[in-house]
A and B are shown apart, each in its own frame.
Chain A
């Protein structure tokens, strides 16, 4: 009986910082913790510290809308995200922690012929890579999501959809906690409320970091700081092609389960899913101006609610429960910036815009391999920072511009 009420620590409380680590990871979110976890698990590198300026999972990892999918537009992107979906499918078992991953399917609606053509291209790219993804017509949309208003008496009639059966939602906090516990058990140290204030370099390579709790020597620094990536890279004099924007979302009061699939409308800049708690979760597009101020706005709420009612008129009297905001680091081509930089030992996971959470496990495994072997894995080679200097971009605009 007593055992039921015992407080179980997910990971050890923060200790004193050591003078030296092999690897310092800046950012205690899903990417930083996944990298730490796989460094220990796959490569036996355990002299690792994760430094987080606030609490674990306080940034994008705890604010995203939890969608996991791989139906991207470019072969480079689709292949990469597919590996991430496969890792997510195994992650609950691997971490011995239920991440509540529900692969209930993902529908991207087409409201125009042009959208159907783009979706057909995406489906072809996906199928060539073995990803379950296909264009479906209105009868199939009605079967998959009978709650949708499929009438033609609306502003944007639904002509079809891109259907991705293995897309789903996962409990984002559980992913963070599970990875943190796994990293901690592997021997990694987790240091919340420890802000990095400087990066020491000598002869073009990193030698240490300065923090609000003292200085540390290290060989490798990983920056996994989403909306703050530019500020951390500035400390190492590395320039990034990033702008920081806010992305917002809100949930309604909980309802009985009625919505099985995730529904996305690029045309209306809105997407909808129902969480395990019954809340209707609604997200939209980033704000067009850059900002580091993470406050919610009323125009977003009004705009998104209006469009959701066009898709689901039955939600008309449902109350809004909660609205929130996160910072996103947007890259020019809607693909990430992953791997080495011109400063030896300074590795970045940045430019994630609005799609970082779904890539956490594959970022963790590939960056851990990069750090351990010193070689960039083939899977992430297209996402190098150098591509912006040579103007060889990987445009995911068609599949990632609406933030879902």
Chain B
């Protein structure tokens, strides 16, 4: 089977209702060099363990939220709506909504 994610609005739903938008990253400095910008765009920590990540409830309430998931087990430890984020990390822009997952 696959796994469940708990949407902050809708509660536990099948993962296939959601679009995954990658691990939470830190934006580079205001005027980044090409190298800094390329690092931000392309490189990922890809941890085997607990990871902070972005999700979008595509077939539900259409909100962005953050989840804490163990990538070794897919156990979702916590989810929290994007606006609750204190450190100024904005949710990905509307234009960045990923395509419907293939499966």
Contacts and interface: CB of A to CB of B under 8 A. Distances in A.
Interface residues of A, number: 30
B73 A293 contact: yes
Nearest to B19: A288
By secondary structure, the A interface counts as loop
A388 B101 contact: no
B96 interface: no
A371 interface: no
Given A388-B38, A391-B38, A290 B23 contact: yes
A297 B22 CA distance: 20
Interface residues of B, number: 32
A231 interface: yes
B43 A288 contact: no
Interface string A297-319: 11110011000000000000000
Contacts of A241: 42-44
A389 to B, nearest CB: 5
Contacts of B103: 269, 284-285, 287-288, 297, 299-300, 303-304
Nearest to B35: A389
A18 interface: no
B48 interface: yes
Given A231-B48, A243-B44, A389 B2 contact: no
B98 interface: yes
Contacts of A289: 15, 20, 101
Contact of A390 (B14, B38, B73, B98): B38
Interface of A: 230-231, 239-244, 269, 284-293, 297-300, 303-304, 332, 388-391
Closest 4 CB pairs of A and B: A285-B102, A288-B101, A289-B20, A241-B42
9 contacts: A230-B46, A230-B47, A231-B48, A240-B43, A241-B42, A291-B74, A298-B1, A388-B42, A389-B35
